[in-house]
Amino acid sequence: MEVTLGVQNVSRDLTIETDASAQDVAAAVEAAVSSPDGLLSLTDTKGRRLLVPGRTLGWVLIGESERGRVGFGLT
């Protein structure tokens, strides 16, 4: 699952590849932004943790990662 985060006052997006489901990521985001001191914690596929204060999140894009295509002429 690919998750892209927009953080306030940061010009670049943060993108993380995680094994968590879309529902788990959405629940973590909702919990982080609903609490004044909420903290979004996601673990990537290599076991590294990303911690972002919920109050600094601008937007979150949750989507499937694109599978590698094999062959010629695929569109």
List the one residue out of 27, 12, 15 whose CA is nearest residue 2.
15
Q: What is the pLDDT of residues 17-39, one digit of tens each?
A: 999 999 999 999 999 999 989 99
What confidence tens digit (pLDDT) does each residue in 44-64 have?
999 999 999 999 999 999 997
pLDDT at 14 over 60: yes
CA 21 remoteness from chain centre = 11
d(CA 61, CA 53): 16
Contact between 40 and 28 under an 8 Å Cβ cutoff? The reply is yes
In angstroms, the CA 68 to CA 47 distance is 22
